[in-house]
């Protein structure tokens, strides 16, 4: 398995060092041959090469089985227009890899239930998967730009039936492996793209009679996420709605730092925590590495197709949390001991290796 590591900006390199370490150790424990190469993306790449997605990075990524990314974005480039910012590196990367289905699981972690901004009785039992369309919509629609001497600006929201169908299939298949409920989220009372979205998803649903489909407008979905999050199983939605709703869902679990993501369906799979580069805490060894590490677990699940390796990492994360270890973002007020990024990463890595070896020993018997 060839994996390109893209640490990126801000806390990206710190959390990515932890996820890459866990990836290497768990691969070794399961005898999965792994080759990794590190490359620049985002602001770090602009500073070194002038481009947020340099050709060397692209070449390495497209010849890999998967890419493991930290985070992209830096306030240093805040004055630049969207098309010149570090984020464009991430968008070009996503396009180059071709993955259109971004899976963002958000579930209540029992050990962190009191870190949720929601009351325990509302949040307990929450377990959802957001499937975000990642290559269409406002992020990529043409035409886009500034006009009339920069006194106007415009973006285009555009979806084809084929684009909606392919991501809908991923979501229905995921629902099949879960609680068989799919909520498609749109704004079909206002937008043509959403009408097309709803019609198409309804048509695809015909192939999945065992999955219950309902539709919600995005504003209502945002509300239900905080009033009744346990009603959701799989949420399927377009690019920008999914960006917004997944931050909302993530923070319900206690911290944005907890959540991983996988982008599948293209030539090369992409794994990244859903959080950003958090420049205000960068370089301080305080960032939560668990979203990044859980992304490595997803890499084993979807790219390596090794469920045991994925579970070893996920169990290790839960074990460390159950033991009471916390990074600053998930620590309750007044807590005495807080783990650094490197301490948290090392504890999860050690546990994951132990769980992996136990599984291997079991197979050997
Ligand atoms: C995310 C991020 C990105 C996005 C940014 C950094 C371009 O917010 O992965 O959710 O909007 O997709
Ligand atoms: Mn986002």
Q: Which ligand is nearest to the CA of 244?
A: 2
Whether 245 and 185 have beta carbons less than 8 Å apart is answered as yes
Ligand 1, residue 72: give the atom nearest the CA. 6
Question: What class, spelled out in words, does domain 1-105+255-365 have in CATH?
Answer: alpha beta
| Spatial separation of the C-alpha atoms in residues 251 and 273, rounded to whole Å | 13
In the 8-state DSSP scheme, what is residue 270? E
Average pLDDT for 226-231? 98
Q: Whose CA is nearest to atom 6 of ligand 1?
A: 87
Active site amino acids: 139, 187, 219, 243, 247
Quick one: pLDDT at residue 350?
97
From 63-72, 161-170, 221-230, 334-343, the region with the lowest mean pLDDT: 334-343
Picking from 223, 269, 222, the residue whose alpha carbon sits closest to that of residue 242 is 222
Average pLDDT for 164-175? 98
Average pLDDT for 248-260? 94
Q: Whose CA is nearest to atom 4 of ligand 1?
A: 243
The pTM is what? 0.95
Residues of the chain with CATH 3.40.718.10: 1-105+255-365, 116-252
Quick one: pLDDT at residue 336?
82
Ion ligand 2, residues whose Cβ is below 5 A away: 243
Q: Which ligand is nearest to the CA of 70?
A: 1
Q: Whose CA is nearest to atom 1 of ligand 1?
A: 274
Mean pLDDT of the chain: 96
| Spatial separation of the C-alpha atoms in residues 157 and 142, rounded to whole Å | 8
Picking from 234, 229, 125, the residue whose alpha carbon sits closest to that of residue 179 is 234
DSSP strands (E only) in 80-170: 101-107, 127-133, 145-147, 152-154
| Spatial separation of the C-alpha atoms in residues 81 and 79, rounded to whole Å | 7
| Ligand 2 centroid distance, CA of 274 (Å) | 6
| Helices 290-302 + 307-322 axis angle, to 10 | 160
- Examine the pLDDT at 359 and tell me if it is beyond 90: no
| Ligand 2 centroid distance, CA of 134 (Å) | 11
Ligand 1, residue 87: give the atom nearest the CA. 7
Picking from 217, 207, 216, 104, the residue whose alpha carbon sits closest to that of residue 165 is 207
Quick one: pLDDT at residue 363?
77
Q: Which ligand is nearest to the CA of 274?
A: 1
Ligand 1 contacts (CB < 6 A) are 72-73, 87, 90, 243, 274, 276
Average pLDDT for 333-343? 92
Quick one: pLDDT at residue 334?
85
Average pLDDT for 125-137? 98
| pLDDT tens track for 59-81 | 999 999 999 999 999 999 999 98
Quick one: pLDDT at residue 219?
98
Share of the chain above pLDDT 90, in %: 95
Average pLDDT for 202-228? 98
DSSP strands (E only) in the chain: 2-8, 35-38, 66-71, 101-107, 127-133, 145-147, 152-154, 181-186, 212-217, 234-237, 262-264, 269-271
- Examine the pLDDT at 208 and tell me if it is beyond 90: yes
Q: What is the CATH T-level fold of the domain 116-252, as seen in this structure? A: Isopropylmalate Dehydrogenase (3.40.718)
Average pLDDT for 112-136? 96
Whether 348 and 316 have beta carbons less than 8 Å apart is answered as yes
If pLDDT is split at 50, 70 and 90, which confidence band does 83 have? confident
Average pLDDT for 311-336? 94
| Ligand 2 centroid distance, CA of 329 (Å) | 18
Please give the C-alpha separations between residue 314 and each of 168, 216, 252, in angstroms, as whole numbers. Answer: 27, 31, 19
If pLDDT is split at 50, 70 and 90, which confidence band does 364 have? confident
- Examine the pLDDT at 108 and tell me if it is beyond 80: yes
Give 21's Cβ-side CA count (13 Å radius): 20
- Residue labelled with tokens 């979203």: 291
Average pLDDT for 202-225? 98
- Examine the pLDDT at 214 and tell me if it is beyond 80: yes
Residue of 74, 87, 100, 247 to mutate, ligand 1, most atoms within 8 A of C-beta: 87
Please give the C-alpha separations between residue 363 and each of 307, 336, 349, 360, in angstroms, as whole numbers. Answer: 14, 41, 21, 5
Ligand 1, residue 94: give the atom nearest the CA. 12
Ligand 1, residue 91: give the atom nearest the CA. 7
Average pLDDT for 321-345? 94
| Ligand 2 centroid distance, CA of 21 (Å) | 25
Give me 73's structure tokens.
């974005």
| Ligand 2 centroid distance, CA of 337 (Å) | 30
| Spatial separation of the C-alpha atoms in residues 322 and 224, rounded to whole Å | 29
Quick one: pLDDT at residue 45?
98
Q: Whose CA is nearest to atom 9 of ligand 1?
A: 274
| pLDDT tens track for 290-303 | 999 999 999 999 99
Ligand 1, residue 272: give the atom nearest the CA. 9
Residue of 276, 278, 291 to mutate, ligand 1, most atoms within 8 A of C-beta: 276
Give me 202's structure tokens.
């309804």
């Amino acid at each position: 398995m060839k994996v390109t590591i893209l640490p990126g900006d801000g806390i990206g390199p710190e959390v990515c060092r932890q996820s890459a370490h866990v990836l290497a150790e768990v691969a070794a424990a399961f005898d999965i041959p792994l080759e990794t190469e590190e490359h620049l993306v985002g602001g770090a790449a602009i500073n070194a090469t002038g481009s947020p997605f340099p050709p060397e990075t692209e070449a390495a990524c497209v010849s890999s089985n998967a890419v493991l990314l930290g985070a992209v974005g830096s306030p240093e480039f805040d004055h630049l227009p969207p098309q010149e910012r570090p984020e464009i590196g991430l968008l070009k990367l996503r396009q180059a890899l071709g993955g259109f289905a971004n899976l963002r699981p958000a579930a209540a972690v029992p050990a962190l239930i009191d870190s949720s901004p929601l009351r325990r009785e509302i949040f307990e039992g929450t377990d959802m998967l957001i499937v975000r369309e990642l290559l269409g919509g406002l992020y990529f629609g043409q035409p886009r730009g500034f006009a009339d001497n920069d006194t106007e600006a415009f973006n285009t929201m555009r979806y084809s039936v084929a684009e909606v169908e392919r991501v809908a299939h991923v979501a229905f298949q995921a629902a099949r492996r879960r609680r068989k409920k799919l909520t498609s989220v749109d704004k079909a009372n206002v937008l043509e793209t959403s009408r097309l979205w709803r019609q198409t998803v309804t048509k695809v649903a015909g192939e999945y009679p065992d999955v219950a489909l309902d539709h919600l407008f995005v504003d209502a979905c945002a509300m239900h996420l905080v009033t009744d999050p346990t009603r959701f199983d799989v949420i399927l939605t377009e690019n920008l709605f999914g960006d917004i709703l997944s931050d909302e869902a993530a923070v319900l679990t206690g911290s944005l730092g907890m959540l991983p993501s996988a982008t599948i369906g293209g030539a090369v799979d992409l794994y990244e925590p859903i959080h950003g580069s958090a420049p205000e805490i960068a370089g301080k060894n305080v960032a939560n590495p668990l979203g990044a590490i859980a992304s490595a677990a997803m890499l084993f699940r979807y790219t390596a197709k090794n469920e045991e390796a994925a579970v070893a990492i996920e169990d290790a994360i839960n074990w460390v949390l159950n033991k009471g270890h916390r990074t600053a973002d998930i620590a309750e007020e007044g807590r005495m001991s807080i783990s650094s990024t490197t301490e948290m990463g090392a504890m999860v890595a050690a546990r994951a290796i132990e769980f992996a070896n136990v599984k291997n020993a079991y197979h050997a018997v």
